[in-house]
Chains A and B, each alone.
Chain A
Amino acid sequence: MKRSIVAAATAVALLLAACGEERDEASSTTAAADTTTAESVPTSVTDTMPAPDTTEGADGVINVPDDQPTIQAAVDAAEPGDLILVAPGTYNEAVNVETENLTIRGLDRNEVVLDGNFELENGIRVLGAGGVAVENMTAINYKRNGFFWTGVDGFRGSYLTAYRTGDYGVYAFDSMNGQLEHIYAAGSPDAGVYIGECYPCNTVLTDTVSEHNGLGYSGTNAGGNLLIINSVFRNNRAGIVPNSGSYELCYPQRETTIVGNIVHSNNQPDTPAIDVALLAMGNGILSAGGIRNDIERNLVFDHDKSGIGLVPFLEENPNDDLPTKEEWELTCEESKALPLVTPGGALLWDSFDNRVIGNVLEDNRAGDIIVASAGSDVSTLGNCASGNTLTFTQPNNLETLAPCDGTGSGDWKDGEYNVAAWLGETPPPSVDWQTATLPELQPQENMPDAATAPAKPATDVPYSVDLDAITVPSKPA
């Protein structure tokens, strides 16, 4: 069945626009949504503040290595609000940041390289310090993560490259009010970019390329004004995977808005991959137990399984019971206060109330859109699809069964998809992250005016997004 793209309904557009509202209009800048159709992503942040005096010894500016020999020494010497400028070079450091409102910037994204030598844990780890911005540098060969924020209110990562890391490339955990932009992430067994345990997250991920990871993006129990937009997820085991599970707090995963991305060829058999990446292999955008996600105007093609899948996640050894629908409304902080209740057995996290609208899908060989469960009546889960350009769905005629803008009709058993069969499959095994074959690291776009732009701590993020202006990207050449 071939369907044409239709414009999103006004109500949907309003809803999406509301989701993208910045939290503090008075203090934020506006970055127009990038509607580029190319797989490379352009600059979207402009800055009109006057240039600072970044000469050696200037107040509030610490140059590495001229003023301090290492990035860590500079961080330790810095006061909140300072700008740390890092000169080109290789830095064998695992930097811990516990001072708020710092801006840590490389002078050249491709030549400021933090190298963990397969021995150090994280390139830069921000522990509980809100407002820290990390800009314009590369992290490679870290046992855990390239760039890692945890427990912060306010974070930004801009023009960052994470390559060959043992857990995640860019990782924001238990953190809210963030902006991740112009990221390149490759070679992580879990996810190139991971945002976890936040609700509401109030975070934007944009202008990113994530490839040859276990998952291009993973977001366990993350959502609430969380936008994944204008990015490319290709050649991972699976592309964009919001998911629920009790292996971290703040379940379930809710309310991620996924718009304007190019998601293709996520069947890559030779990446490092954790177990869930192996299980999810061959899917473009996969809600694994996700709730109320909006998946709109993406281009999704060339997948062995689904282009967009709304499926359950079976958690075999859970730490808590399933949250009630009333508990879905709790904030992350509220839900943390609930006691854990050891369940009697495995949990099945179904995907509920997701909306799939206006996407362009092609050559997704098990179904352009798949909606499935493993025991629940899938017709009762509240997922819907409308206005997508596609060839076939499972169950068949999904847009008739469950339109987003009306009452559905038809037989949900017609073309019912057996998602449980995935558990019996044997995908190509994980490859050691230290030795996996990756695309050669190419020079990545530099931050404009790195040497002269003023400190810009992450106190005004996320930047506002005009979701209505985002259109379906064109297929790359």
Chain B
Amino acid sequence: MRRNAWKALLLASAVGTSVLSACAADPDDSQQAQQNTTTTPLVTVPPSDIEYPPNGQSTEVLAIDNNFKPDALTVEAGTEVVFVNNGRNDHNVVPPDDPTVATWGVLDENFKPGDTYSHTFTKPGTYVYVCTIHGSATFGMFGTIVVTEP
């Protein structure tokens, strides 16, 4: 419980940071203002319209039973994030607003113990993800990646 409260606080902070950093790049000021005033911390900040090429950097997120480690990560746009299922159970990596992982993420049939999944985050923003088997966007096995401008 304490861990998740801490995580929510961290995420709220991360969201705010990302929103602020994205303001200069996003022409839609009214939308940004609306996001800045939100009181719900667990919101995926839409990625900016600016896309950055892969930068050759890679970092790892472990999916163990039933935690993402680290569960809060900040990377520069263009960085590859490799998710590794090093638990004994199936997991998945699913954006809460994209349950079919059309944009990014991996479903459990493709993320069994020992499997890896990688995605290069090319647009700044805050990306929330959850293992839908063992958590929700507000509790349990979830994490966030803040992608900053290079």
A binding-site residues for B, Cβ under 8 Å: 96, 98, 121-122, 127-128, 130, 144, 150-151, 153, 167, 173-174, 190, 196-197, 220, 245-249, 274-276, 317, 319, 333, 336, 340
Interface set, chain B 90-138, CB cutoff 8 A to A: 90, 114, 132-136, 138
Binds A, one of B16-24, B25-33, B58-66: B58-66
Q: List 12 A-B contacts (CB under 8 A).
A: A122-B133, A150-B135, A151-B140, A174-B66, A190-B88, A196-B65, A197-B65, A247-B65, A248-B64, A274-B88, A333-B3, A340-B62
Name the B residues within 8 Å of A336 (CB-CB): 3
Smallest CB separation, B80 vs chain A (Å): 19
Which of A144, A249, A333 contacts B133 (CB under 8 A)?
A: A144
* Known contacts A98-B139, A127-B140, A128-B4; A150/B134 CB under 8 A: yes
Given contacts A167-B89, A248-B87, A319-B64, contact A96 B69 (CB under 8 A): no
Least CB distance, B53 to chain A, in whole angstroms:
29
Rounded to whole angstroms, the CA-CA distance of A122 and B131 in the bound complex is: 13
**Which chain B residue has the least Cβ–Cβ distance from A151?**
B140
Residue of B nearest to A167 (CB): B89
* Distance in angstroms between the alpha carbons of A171 and B4 in the assembled complex: 20
B133/A121 in contact, CB under 8 A: yes
Main secondary structure of the interface of A (DSSP, over half): loop
Q: State whether A247 touches B88 (Cβ < 8 A).
A: yes
* CB < 8 Å neighbour of A247 from B2, B87, B132: B87
B4 / chain A contacts, CB cutoff of 8 Å: 128, 151
Whether A319 pairs with B69 at a CB distance below 8 angstroms is: yes
Q: Which residues in A have their C-beta under 8 angstroms from that of B89?
A: 167, 190
In the assembled complex, the Cα of A151 lies from the Cα of B69 at a distance in Å of 16
CA distance A446 to B19 in the complex (A): 55
Top 7 nearest A-B pairs (CB, nearest first) are A128-B139, A248-B65, A127-B139, A247-B87, A247-B88, A150-B140, A319-B86
Known contacts A127-B135, A127-B139: does B64 contact A151 (CB below 8 Å)?
Answer: no
B134 to A, closest residue via Cβ: A150
Verify A247–B66 contact, CB threshold 8 A.
Answer: no
Contact B86–A317 (Cβ < 8 Å): yes
Which residues of chain B are within 8 angstroms of A319 by Cβ–Cβ distance? 62, 64, 69, 86
Whole-angstrom CA separation of A174 from B66 in the bound complex: 9
B36 within 8 A of A: no
Do A340 and B69 contact each other (CB < 8 Å), given the known contacts A151-B4, A153-B1, A247-B88?
yes
Nearest CB in chain B: distance from A238 CB, A: 15
With a cutoff of 8 Å between Cβ atoms, the chain A residues found around residue B90 in the complex are 167
Partner of B1, one of A128, A190, A196, A246: A128
